[in-house]
Amino acid sequence: MSKYLDYSIIKEDFLPSWRQLYDKAEPFATNLLNLLPLVAPLPYPFQTKLIASYALTPSALASILPILIFYGQRGTGKSSLGQLISYLHGIQIHTGADTFAAIRNDLNDRRWKTIAMEGNDPAYPTIFRTIEVNTMMVWDDIDAKMLIEQPNIFRMLKSGYNKETDTISLADGSGENKRFNCFSPKICSTTTPIWGDSRFAELERRILVIKFGKAQFEPIVKLDNWNWHGFNQLFIDYWNSLDRAKNWLASRKKLGEIFSNNTRTTIILDIAATGLSTGIWKSTDEVKDYFSEYWSWYEEEIAYGDSALCGLLKKYIFELEQNRYSVIDLFGLSQDEIDPVALKKQIDSWNKQGMLEVTPTNSLVSQTMNYLGWRLIPGKWIKMK
């Protein structure tokens, strides 16, 4: 008999099981939809369906999956939801302190499995085959510093959203190039809008953002007070079904036929197929309406409307309009025109003073000005009529 106690068993027996939170009369997806807001209430509840669809997506079937960004200040529930999804997939959470090699090895170990199969040749009754299985990555607290210090992680984020482009080559210690397939769904939490940083501009079209805020009440389910052993088996069992896999593929085909072909549609197609096939959305019309609402919200709250840049530009434009004669005297422009060189110098000044969260890309400046009602033509910004 061991002289040591296995405290993990004692803890599992002592804590109530997640099964007490699970309603067997309801579908798997409905249970997840009900559980998410109990763990971390969101300021925009409609986003729960996007989180659930992303978390339930069978990555082995998927082709393109954007990075799901949990964005908000500390203490808003980002880590808690990431932890719940890590339980759903039976994985460890990565942090900004993890090395690229550790992350690469972990993903390789989980994404590919060697299985024994019955062979057709009597001389080889058993054959072994490597197959891709469903997986997920959850990253807690990423920031610009990590992406700069570990450029291979940035490469993985850029390339790993599309299965067609997910192979990156890396030199090992001997100088030999090693190939690494880095595709997987990735949930990353951050306190800063790294997608708006000019150094990481390529992330902008590869992400979906969930915005977190201070909850008005305490979470009902505190994860550490529950035993989550076996929770990941729900996900494994659900997708270990030929009928469900076929249903997912049929849903994706149907959505692909009715959605227009553009960047935004491309990155949400596999997630939408999951939501439709699992019953999160009941029809293709519901899917279209949902993502129309999401992108409108994104432009208002994330891309332009809620940024520090937007607030500073609003004030700058207001002051120019209040002092329109100075504008005419200095630049020879009317009150409905702004000098782009002067605007760029002003943005550079804000950035040097630390008034911006990130160094904005030219694209972000243009989109924010468009959002505020201004259009760039040769030599000047003009107010849209």
Residues 51 and 191 in one domain: yes
- Assess contact for 157 and 135: CB atoms under 8 A: no
Q: Is residue 119 part of a domain?
A: yes
Q: How far apart are CA 32 and CA 28, in angstroms?
A: 6
Q: Is residue 225 part of a domain?
A: yes
Q: Could you give the number of structural domains in the chain?
A: 2
Other CB atoms closer than 10 Å to residue 268's CB: what's the count? 25
pLDDT recorded at residue 173: 63
pLDDT recorded at residue 233: 97
pLDDT recorded at residue 74: 86
Q: Is residue 74 part of a domain?
A: yes
Q: How far apart are CA 141 and CA 132, in angstroms?
A: 28
Residue at 242: amino acid letter:
L
pLDDT recorded at residue 327: 46
pLDDT recorded at residue 213: 84
Residues 277 and 354 in one domain: no
Q: What is the CATH number of the domain that holds 33?
A: 3.40.50.300
Query: What is the DSSP pairing of strand 207-211 with strand 177-181?
Result: unpaired
Last residue of a domain, one of 232, 247, 282: 282
State pTM to two decimals: 0.81
Residues 46 and 89 in one domain: yes
| Residues with Cβ within 8 Å of residue 208, at least 6 apart in sequence | 50, 54, 66, 67, 68, 69, 267, 268, 271, 294
Tens-digit pLDDT profile for residues 295-337: 999 887 776 645 678 888 988 888 887 776 554 445 555 668 8
Residue spans of the chain under pLDDT 50: 305, 327-329
Q: Is residue 1 part of a domain?
A: no
CA 362 remoteness from chain centre = 23
Residues 274 and 314 in one domain: no
Residues 328 and 226 in one domain: no
Residues 159 and 273 in one domain: yes
Q: Is residue 303 part of a domain?
A: no
Tokens of 177: 């190039």
C-alpha closest to that of 138 among 76, 96, 192, 199: 96
Residues 254 and 320 in one domain: no
Residues 54 and 185 in one domain: yes
Residues 106 and 215 in one domain: yes
Tokens of 68: 């799901």
Q: Which residues does residue 317 pair with via DSSP β-bridges, in sequence order?
A: none
Q: How far apart are CA 80 and CA 138, in angstroms?
A: 11
CA dihedral 264, 266, 267, 272 (to 10 degrees): 100
Three-state SS string across the chain, please? CCCCCCHHHHHHHHCCEHHHHCCCCCCHHHHHHHHHHHHCCCCCHHHHHHHHHHHHCCCCCCCECCEEEEECCCCCCHHHHHHHHHHHHCCCCEECCCCHHHHHHHHHHHHEEEEEEECCCCCCCEEEEEEECCCCEEEECCCHHHHHHCHHHHHHHHHCCEHHHCEEEEECCCCCEEEEECCCCEEEEECCCHHHEHHHHHHHHHEEEEECCCCCCCCCCCHHHCECCCCHHHHHHHHCCHHHHHHHHHHHHHHHHHCCCCHHHHHHHHHHHHHHHHCCCCCHHHHHHHHHHHHHHHHHHHHCCCCHHHHHHHHHHHHHHHCHHHHHHHHCCCCCEECHHHHHHHHHHHHHCCCCCCCECHHHHHHHHHHCCEEEECCEEEECC
Residues 218 and 329 in one domain: no
**What is the phi/psi pair of residue 376, to 5°?**
-90, 125
Q: Is residue 316 part of a domain?
A: yes
Residues 212 and 257 in one domain: yes
**What is the phi/psi pair of residue 7, to 5°?**
-65, -25
Residues 315 and 262 in one domain: no
Q: How far apart are CA 81 and CA 96, in angstroms?
A: 17
Expressed as residue numbers, the domain containing 366 is: 308-383
